[in-house]
Amino acid sequence: MDGASLNRSGGLKVLAASVAVTSVLGNSYAYSVYVTPLASLWGSTFWASLPFSILIATFAFSSIIGGRLYARKGNIRVPALLSMVLTGGGLLLSSLVEAVSTPLWLATTYGVVVGLGNGMGYVPIVALARKWYPDKAGFATGVVILGYGGSALAFAPLKALLIELMGVGLTFAAVGLISFTIGVPAAMVVRDPPQELVNYFSRFAKKRAVIPKRDYKPGEALKTPDFWLLWASFMLTAGPGLMLIGHMANLAALNNIPSPPLAVSIFSVMNALGRPPAGWVSDKLGRFGRPLTMTAFFTAQGLVFYALSTPLASIPWLFFFMVAALGFFYGSGLALFPAATGDFFGLKHLSENYSLIFIGWGLSGLLFPSLGSYIVDSTGGYELALLISSILSVAGGLVNLYLKKRLALYLQ
């Protein structure tokens, strides 16, 4: 079958529906607006932020299940619909938080159920984009994950407004209904491309500059030291960003910054916008562009976290500037680590290998927001948490200098 007889016009419709699905999943990034009212309800920032930490960990571990479910069923609508049902249903159950009034309820309904919804849908939807556009994988996956990262731009101010108007419980219910309304129809639209189309356009993907010698199965990748170095780098560099996401509004309030939800939205915008440029820069730098970009970006991230721990963070415009920079660096990691995984271990098993690397992201989401909560409850501020984030960001970035040397062993 030649290119003229193939019609990929349906790919744009699928991409648009995929962005709708990831946008529903990404509303969980706007969790920090819940922290202040929940901390008032329970008298603890730690318990108020724990559901977000559990969500991140559940998301990461269940992404392995979502990827395997997609591979086994061979139909994207199965994990996509399951993802939307779990996400919307978990939010509706979370709306009982004031009636039940125990942190464990929200930890289960939001942390576990909504986290499962994220895990069921995220990896399959990203893999679907690569199937439709194997020759433009960076563009397609960048568009899809931009929806996830940018979702909080709309949801953060919406949630803040709804909390003010009707309280935190009914806000969970409203967001759950919105998720159903947007997500279920979108999940019914997404579909897999014909295999002939995948085969035809895949041949153009082979023209990329970074070509691994062979494809590693997950069991093989796990046996290499470089897998674990990538895993550790992801954990050390994503964790500080996840802590900031979980505490953004509260951090802004403690620094007397006006309109804390605005900080959440700014981070969300830059989180989304940071992904395509990071991939573009790493491509332009050539065969070793990925580790070089990661070293530079994450070292800079550490410096900005240090600045955020100083009195400069009490100046509103500087605070928003630093939040924007950190959003950019955090978002860049979500684009660079999947690409780096493919550089080392090939594309054939990328979804499975990346889902294992992604566990590092999930563990960091479990540990870092909780650490931030413990520190703020103990000290009354975030300075120590931000200093720790600064040190670990730099350490995670410098790991990639060594990975640059190791990458030469994997490339043709």
Could you read off the pLDDT of 262-274 as tens digits, one per residue? 887 788 788 877 7
Q: What is the pLDDT of residues 276-319, one digit of tens each?
A: 777 777 777 777 888 999 999 999 999 999 999 999 999 999 99
Is the pLDDT reported for residue 233 higher than 70?
yes
Say how many C-beta atoms besides its own lie within 10 A of residue 365's C-beta: 28
Dihedral of the alpha carbons of 219, 213, 145, 126, in degrees to the nearest 10: -60
Q: Which two three-digit tokens encode residue 209?
A: 């500059």
Average pLDDT over residues 240-253: 86
Q: Among 171-180, 207-216, 335-344, whose mean pLDDT is lowest?
A: 207-216
Mean pLDDT of the chain: 85
Q: Among 31-45, 204-218, 264-278, 358-372, whose mean pLDDT is lowest?
A: 204-218
Is the pLDDT reported for residue 407 higher than 70?
yes
Q: Among 110-114, 259-263, 307-311, whose mean pLDDT is lowest?
A: 259-263
Is the pLDDT reported for residue 412 higher than 70?
no
Q: Quick check: 220 and 346 in contact, CB under 8 A?
A: no
Q: What's the CA gap between 129 and 350, in Å, rounded?
A: 13
Q: Among 82-91, 158-167, 358-367, 376-385, whose mean pLDDT is lowest?
A: 358-367
Q: Quick check: 361 and 60 in contact, CB under 8 A?
A: yes
Q: What's the CA gap between 286 and 147, in Å, rounded?
A: 27
Provide the percentage of residues in the chain whose pLDDT is more than 90: 36
| pLDDT value for 206 | 55
DSSP 8-class letter at 76 = T
Q: Quick check: 395 and 295 in contact, CB under 8 A?
A: no
Q: What's the CA gap between 264 and 262, in Å, rounded?
A: 5
| pLDDT value for 260 | 77
Is the pLDDT reported for residue 208 higher than 70?
no
Task: Give 70's pLDDT tier (boundaries 50, 70, 90).
Answer: confident
Most confident of 44-53, 88-97, 344-353: 88-97
Is the pLDDT reported for residue 205 higher than 70?
no
pTM exceeding 0.85? no
Tell me whether residue 292 is exposed, middle or buried, using C-beta atoms within 10 angstroms of its C-beta: 0 to 12, 13 to 18, 19 or more: middle
Is the pLDDT reported for residue 150 higher than 70?
yes
Average pLDDT over residues 110-120: 93
